[in-house]
Structure 1
Amino acid sequence: MAATVAYDAVEVGTVLPTRTFPVTRATLVRYAGASGDFNPIHWNERFAKEVGLPDVIAHGMFTMAEAARVVTDWVGDPGALVQYGVRFTRPVVVPDDGTGAVIEVGGKVAVKLDDRRVRVDLLAMSAGQKVLGMSRAVVQLT
């Protein structure tokens, strides 16, 4: 599958569609099973609070992956993502209240690079706070 976004049709400042991703305790249990990361801070409220967290928190790699989905959905091909990095700035707190948390991710094209690549800068927020810093992806366009 090739990227569906044409390099020549993209300008610096092009805004990617903002996405919201709900996160519940059940989401975290499923992610733990898939990733093998069963750290109790991601499922045990008592343990999370004992180690100084406000509540159970989402896996950092889960949060990072949801942010990357904004880019891969926009470009139309997960294989077009050639570089991706973030800094974890705040955890996504996931209360056991039947609703959980929401991660909201938006992005925009920050730089057009050579070789038909662009750098997309992402903004990931939860509960009104930035949860990923320096979130940048480089994608290969057509």
Structure 2
Amino acid sequence: MTAAIRYDEVETGTEIGERTFPVRRVDLVRYAGASGDFNPIHWNDRTAKAVGLPGVIAHGMFTMAEAARLVTDWVGDPGAIVEYGTRFSAPVVVPDDDEGAEITVSGTVKEKRDDNQVVVALTVRSGGTRVLTRPTVVVRLA
């Protein structure tokens, strides 16, 4: 964990960095076990294609969690998240190969609020496509 970011060290427009997270089928299987979401669109190509998807897709909540990791790593405390909202705009398609897919996340502080809270706007892409629409995370800083 990194040192805690202090509220007085952050300004509107502060970039919190960019990070790329690999996503392989094994990650989806682990997530399914942890979440209890064993929907076959997350592990079976035949089923995914039968319902009109291009192939197996990552769980939406898995994608959100990976995006939030950029913020929690920046803040240094996963418990600092006060609020998190987004909409899903495109699936993260995960091929059945050794490489899988990637989720690339970047973030910028868009607003400073009272009570040491800041609003971080994220950009979340996979394969060059935005997969989350207007993801925002409110965190309470030290």
TM-score (structure 1 length as normaliser): 0.97
- The aligned counterpart of 2:53 is 53
User: How far apart in 1 are the matches of 2:16 and 2:66?
Assistant: 14
Question: Which letter maps to 2:78?
Answer: P
SS in structure 1 at match of 2:131: strand
% identical aligned pairs = 66
SS in structure 1 at match of 2:90: coil
Question: Which letter maps to 1:24?
Answer: R
- The aligned counterpart of 1:23 is 23
Question: Which letter maps to 1:112?
Answer: K
User: How far apart in 2 are the matches of 1:6 and 1:122?
Assistant: 20
User: How far apart in 1 are the matches of 2:44 and 2:73?
Assistant: 32
User: How far apart in 2 are the matches of 1:139 and 1:25?
Assistant: 31
SS in structure 2 at match of 1:55: coil
Question: Which letter maps to 1:76?
Answer: G
Structure 1, gaps ≥5 residues long: none
Question: Which letter maps to 2:136?
Answer: R
SS in structure 1 at match of 2:28: helix
Deviation of residue 97 (structure 1)? 2.0
- The aligned counterpart of 2:73 is 73
Deviation of residue 17 (structure 1)? 1.7
Structure 2, gaps ≥5 residues long: none
- The aligned counterpart of 1:89 is 89
What is the root-mean-square deviation of aligned Cα atoms in Å?
1.2
**Structure 2 residue 115 is matched with structure 1 residue 126:** no
Question: Which letter maps to 1:49?
Answer: K
The one-character-per-residue Cα deviations of 1:28-65 (angstroms, maximum 9, x if unpaired) are 01110111000000000000000000000000000000
**Structure 2 residue 13 is matched with structure 1 residue 13:** yes
Question: Which letter maps to 1:34?
Answer: A
User: How far apart in 2 are the matches of 1:34 and 1:107?
Assistant: 27
Deviation of residue 98 (structure 1)? 1.6
User: How far apart in 2 are the matches of 1:64 and 1:135?
Assistant: 9
